[in-house]
Amino acid sequence: MPAPYVQLPLSRRSFLLAATGTGAALALTAAPARADGRKRPFGRYGSPAARRTPKTLYVDPGGQGDFTSVQAAVTAATGSGWTLVLAPGTYRETVAVDRTRTETTWIGASENPRDVVIVYDNAAGTPKPGGGTYGTSGSATTTVQADGFTARDITFANDWLRADHPEITGTQAVAIKVQGDRSAFLRCRFLGHQDTLYADSMALGTFARQYFAHCYAEGDVDFVFGRATAVYEHCRFHTLDRDVDFTPKGMVFAPSTAGANPYGYLAVKCRITSGAEDGAYKLARPWVPSSDTTARPALVVRDTWMGPGIDAAEPYTNMSSGFPWQDQRFAEYRNTGPGARILVPENRPQLTDEQAQLHTRETYLGDWRPYARRR
């Protein structure tokens, strides 16, 4: 997606620490960290000497697991039904889960997502070793194509910074790209700037269902985007401050829902906060990619609190004048907070009570019920 923006300098280390600070108000602390340093890096989830199941693998950068990198464990876990337990640490690597590795679960052993961080720093315009550039999809730190993927208590990040690379204009830098059906993320964090969380599908005619519960996502430009059928429940979306002299400084959502798909993005019982000044951000803009000009982006935000960072008078904007947001499927219902005020009714389409009954996690996810799982 477009936008070569300028950002104040921020070191990679301070980026991750700052992100930790912005997430402090979240309900992400879960249980106290029980992965006891080097003594018990896998907490209550066993160890290579006391394996929970034959298909459980342990990853620890300190060397007490089966592998020291996540990708090495993924490569070893061929087929279906594997569980990876990740010890606390920073895993600086790119990770890809191809479509053959179905029904995989990743668990952050400490049960605190701040402790387990998978991070890298490619951008769309980053040169590839063999020539060319990575592009938006190729910039992803983590890519998940397999169906039935679940992650708990993990941070997915891309700490590429515009200020470090003024020569690069392709500034999209994806933390995670998710394409599989039945992909669930519970108490996870997604950190980046532009295009942080790419909730997508494998193909235009594939309606991949994804569920994000009690998660935290931050960024600036279109930082939650793609064509998946995705439900965000009890999540927090945080817009970052930016050193630019124009508004909007960015947008939270940029769905690219296929025209044939009745359901796109649903945010329910969420919070939208901001590190920028009041009214500096749009709630959303529609993404109609050149590869699918028949897309009709769909977004419903309901029962959600919006802080003053969202432009209440004009919460939506266009990505392309040829595909105005008014022609897409954007709607709201029972939202609260200063950013949710209905100042110009025609700029904030509202669902009726009857219409709202069609926009629930149950209707979006169908026979898949990840919200009913027990730990």
- Catalytic residue of the set 121, 147, 200, 222: 222
CB atoms under 10 Å from CB of 292, counted, come to 15
Q: How far apart are CA 126 and CA 172, in angstroms?
A: 10
**Per annotation, catalytic residue among 181, 195, 220, 311:** 195
Q: Is 60 a catalytic residue?
A: no
Q: Which residues pair with residue 219 across a beta bridge?
A: 239
Contact criterion met (CB below 8 Å) for 142 and 177: yes
- The Cβ of residue 136 has, within 10 Å, a number of other Cβ atoms equal to 21
CA 32 – CA 105 distance, rounded (Å): 21
Please give the span between the terminal C-alpha atoms of the chain, in angstroms, as a whole number: 37
Between CA 165 and CA 177 the distance in angstroms is 23
User: How far apart are the C-alpha atoms of 172 and 319, rounded to whole Å?
Assistant: 15
291's tokens:
């590869």
Q: State the virtual CA torsion across 211, 101, 128, 188 in degrees, nearest 10.
A: 30
Closest C-alpha among 186, 197, 191, 198 to residue 23: 191
Nearest to 180 by CA among 217, 147, 223: 147
Q: Nearest 5 degrees, angle CA 287-CA 291-CA 297?
A: 30
Tell me which DSSP letter residue 131 carries. S
Query: How many helices, marked H, and strands, marked E, lie in the chain?
Result: 5, 25
CA-derived radius of gyration, the chain: 20
DSSP label at 338?
G
Tell me how far apart the alpha carbons of residues 199 and 318 are, in angstroms, rounded to a whole number.
20
Mark whether 195 is an active-site residue: yes
Catalytic residues: 195, 222
